[in-house]
Amino acid sequence: MGEGIKKVWIGSGFDIVIEVSPKNIYPIIFFLNRHSLSYFKVLTDMVCYDIPKNNYRFSVIYNLLSVKYNLRCQIVTKINELTNIFSIMGIYKSANWLEREIFDFFGIFFLINKDLRRILTDYGFKGFPLRKDFPLTGYIDVYYDDNQKRISYRNLELTQEYRNFNFKSCW
């Protein structure tokens, strides 16, 4: 396991935080789930966030819980938009919903997950809305057409150019 683990430290609240390379995420989580000294049997959450200026812009965090030892563990892996991650559905069945949500909002593809469909946006939705480079208004305008008495769609034309953000200042 040593080659896949990049860094280990104790986070806030005595949580164990392990930074892992993306290709070794499955074997390390499998080990933590099955080994008698760790026994992390519960996947409480999977979180993703985006920092566009980094080479590895996405960080995927797996939050694990060991009820037997009353421990929490965070597995962190950093990837770019071209990298795929192995699905952990074989270890935790609850990962299906969480992986679908991350795929839907960030576009991160999980290998071996056969059910990567949109889960919280429309099936015809274009783009990934939680990426920082996604426009605030989106690409398609959804509105109710009073003449036709139905919901209609139209392509949205932005009159403003793309804005480059200064991440050091919030204003």
| Whole-angstrom distance, CA of residue 13 vs CA of residue 103 | 29
Is 141 a member of any domain?
no
Is 22 a member of any domain?
yes
Is 137 a member of any domain?
no
* DSSP H or E segment with residue 110: strand 110-111
Is 121 a member of any domain?
no
Is 138 a member of any domain?
no
CATH number at 24 reads: 3.30.460.80
Range of the domain at 80: 5-111
* Domain count within the chain: 1
Whole-prediction pTM: 0.81
The string over 3-24, giving b where at least 16 C-beta atoms fall within 10 Å of a residue's C-beta and e elsewhere, is: ebeeeeeeeeeeebbbbbebeb
| Whole-angstrom distance, CA of residue 25 vs CA of residue 46 | 13
Q: How many residues does the chain have?
A: 171
Sequential pLDDT tens for the chain (171 residues): 567 899 999 988 889 999 999 999 999 999 999 999 999 999 999 999 999 899 999 999 999 999 999 999 999 999 999 999 999 999 999 999 999 999 999 999 999 998 898 989 887 788 899 998 887 777 788 889 999 999 988 887 766 566 666 667 665
Is 91 a member of any domain?
yes
Is 118 a member of any domain?
no
Is 74 a member of any domain?
yes
Rounded-to-5 percentages of helix, strand, coil across the chain: 15, 30, 50
